[in-house]
Amino acid sequence: MSLLKVKGACKFFGGVKAVNEVSLTVEEKSITALIGPNGAGKTTLFNLLTAVYSPTAGEIIFNGYDMGKLKPNQIVSRGVARTFQNIRLFDNLTVLDNVRIGLHGKLPVNPFLPWLPWKKKAVEADAIASARQYLEFVGLTDYEDELACNLPYGKQRTLEIARALATGPKLLLLDEPAAGMNHTETEELIHLIRRTRSAGITVLLIEHDMKLVMKISEHIYVLDHGELLEEGSGESIQNSEKVRTAYLGEETEETHVR
């Protein structure tokens, strides 16, 4: 069953067609990758999915709902969480607090409630317990009391994933999770993504690290110039002439001579 369906999504910034008529389907409990050269519109598509931008045209259907007119925070409560390409953590708060903010949507929404001491105590105890679970899941338990901005780069990315997981998503959007990570960290990340999937969460990721993409993704979409270029399994993408052209440029007579 497909969890996410994008039908002909378009996003134009003036005359620039950042995303043009892109249609894709993400199967439930799968790992799907979205690749493409720089400026292909991958992040714009993510921003459309999380309602940071509203689509110029097209439909985004998640789990049977039309997501077109929702606000970013409503999308989160429907079960789509994301991480960012340029890390966006709450720098002045501790690691634990960052994850607790991710839990915000699950905590009581009555604005007068925090003023009842006994309620607050129970709510906070619950929040801390479940935040610790998420930290354990991604392996950041030892860093609990650190400030988010003092974490090493790779850990910051992991923390972003933990925060996204804390919102309780059905679909997790990862925007270049391996960017700036070293080999070991990438290996750990692969494990983490696989564990996330086995926890029943569908993963859609943007990534430039082809080794990682080929290793974990079941289905790959290739974007170029805002348009869908190719889709298929890892192998078929590797052998695709079109994809090769998009990444490396066309083979012409001239290049052969040189």
Partner 1 sequence: MKRNNINYVLGAILIFPLVVCLLWPTFNQTIDIDNFFGYGKFSYQFTANNFMTIGSYAIIFIVAALGLNVQVGYTGQLNLGYVAFMAVGGYSAALFQDANRELYQNHPFIGICLSLLMAIFFSGLVGLLVCLPTIKLRGDYFAIVTFGFAEVVRQVIKNEEVLRGSIGIKELFLFPKEHVDWINNHFFSLFLNEDMEAAFKPDPWINYGFFLLLTVIVICFVTYLRDSHYGRMLFAIRDNETAAESCGISLSMGKIYASVISAVIGGVAGYMMVMRTSLAHPDSFVFMVSIYALCCLVLGGIGSVRGAVVGAIILMSLGEVLRDVLTAMPKQEGEPLIPSEARFIMFGLVLILMMRFRPNGISTLENDTLRLAKKEKTKGWSKYFQMGDTDESS
From the CB of 124, what's the least distance to partner 1, in Å? 7
Q: Which of 70, 55, 127 is nearest to 97 (CA)?
A: 127
| Binder of partner 1 out of 64, 92, 249, 257 (CB under 8 A) | 92
Q: What is the dihedral sign for C-alpha 40, 164, 48, 231?
A: positive
Q: Which residues are 26's β-sheet partners?
A: 4
Q: Taking the complex as a whole, how short is the minimal distance between the CB of residue 160 and partner 1, in angstroms? A: 8
Tell whether residue 94 is a contact of partner 1 (CB under 8 A): yes
Minimal distance, residue 71 CB to partner 1, in Å: 7
Segment 106-125, which members bind partner 1 (CB under 8 A)?
107, 111, 114-115, 120, 123-124
Whether the Cβ atoms of residue 230 and residue 213 lie closer than 8 Å to each other: no
- C-alpha distances out from residue 187 to 84, 178, 182, 190, Å: 20, 9, 9, 5
Task: Considering the complex, state which of residue 120 and residue 195 has its C-beta at the smaller distance from partner 1.
Answer: 120
* 35: number of Cβ within 10 Å: 26
Give the x/- contact pattern for partner 1 in 138-177, rule: CB under 8 A.
Answer: -------x-x-xx------------xx-xx-------x--
26 φ/ψ angles, rounded to the nearest 5 degrees: -115, 120
Does residue 137 belong to the site contacting partner 1 (CB under 8 A)?
Answer: no
Q: Using CB under 8 A, list all residues that contact partner 1.
A: 43, 47, 50, 52, 71-73, 76-77, 81-82, 84-86, 88-94, 97, 100-105, 107, 111, 114-115, 120, 123-124, 127, 145, 147, 149-150, 163-164, 166-167, 175
